[in-house]
Amino acid sequence: MEQFDNYLQQLQPMHDSTEDILNKFSGFRQHLDSILTKHRNSVHEAVLETRKDIKGLEILLSHQIQEIIRSEVRKSFETQAVVLRSQANTPAPLYDLKDTIKHLLMQGQINKAFHQALLANDLNLVEYTLKSADHNAVFTPDCCLEQKVLLSLIQ
């Protein structure tokens, strides 16, 4: 038994050092837990602060985008109004229509040619079409002009 007691006495310093190490690990773990809790809390606060900042920026950005869209729509309407006003005073180029009508007449599309002239609301263009058209093709007993074209010419 004495040998066993001696053996236990030899193990005692090792047991004490192991217990000391375990206590240090426990203290280290508690220290790490407290640091982790502090960091977790600071990260949570930072996330909340960031969310608050982002929400504020969203609202600000939304207002700015709405204002920009309003401004661009207003500019677009103003530009469109200017274009419409300027088009009202500018007649369509007559030579383009004359060329188109001449081309249609050369292809034998008499109805389309008269229709183009009538759509232009220009008496000179209608007269040009009448003069340029082949009278033998237009004014025959089986007239090739559509009824709506004839009625428009009569008016």
pLDDT digits (tens, 9 = 90+) for 119-149: 888 888 888 888 888 777 777 776 677 777 7
**Are residues 125 and 80 part of one domain?**
no
**pLDDT over 70 percentage in the chain:** 90
Under the banding of pLDDT at 50, 70 and 90, the label for residue 69 is very high
**Are residues 49 and 19 part of one domain?**
yes
Residues 101 and 117: beta-carbon distance below 8 Å: yes
Q: Retrieve residue 57's tokens.
A: 């920026």
**Are residues 36 and 53 part of one domain?**
yes
Residues 97 and 116: beta-carbon distance below 8 Å: yes
**Are residues 69 and 1 part of one domain?**
yes
* pLDDT (mean) for 56-75: 93
Burial of residue 101, with CB atoms counted within 10 A of its CB: 0-12 exposed, 13-18 middle, 19 or more buried: buried
**Are residues 109 and 76 part of one domain?**
no
- pLDDT on residue 83: 73
- pLDDT on residue 49: 97
For residue 109, the tally of other CB atoms under 10 A from its CB is 14
**Are residues 17 and 53 part of one domain?**
yes
**Are residues 82 and 125 part of one domain?**
no
Strand segments (E) across the chain:
none
CA dihedral 133, 136, 139, 141 (to 10 degrees): -150
Q: Which structural domain range is residue 33 located in?
A: 1-91
- pLDDT on residue 36: 96
**Are residues 131 and 63 part of one domain?**
no
**Are residues 5 and 46 part of one domain?**
yes
**Are residues 2 and 54 part of one domain?**
yes
| pLDDT tens profile 87-105 | 655 555 556 888 888 888 8
The tally of domains found in the chain comes to 2
**Are residues 66 and 131 part of one domain?**
no
- pLDDT on residue 8: 78
Degrees (nearest 5) of the Cα angle 153, 139, 103? 75
* pLDDT (mean) for 72-94: 72
Burial of residue 112, with CB atoms counted within 10 A of its CB: 0-12 exposed, 13-18 middle, 19 or more buried: middle
Of 70, 91, 112, the residue at which a domain comes to its end is: 91
Q: Is the pTM of this model over 0.75?
A: no
- pLDDT on residue 59: 96
- pLDDT on residue 92: 52
- pLDDT on residue 91: 56
| pLDDT tens profile 8-21 | 788 888 888 889 89
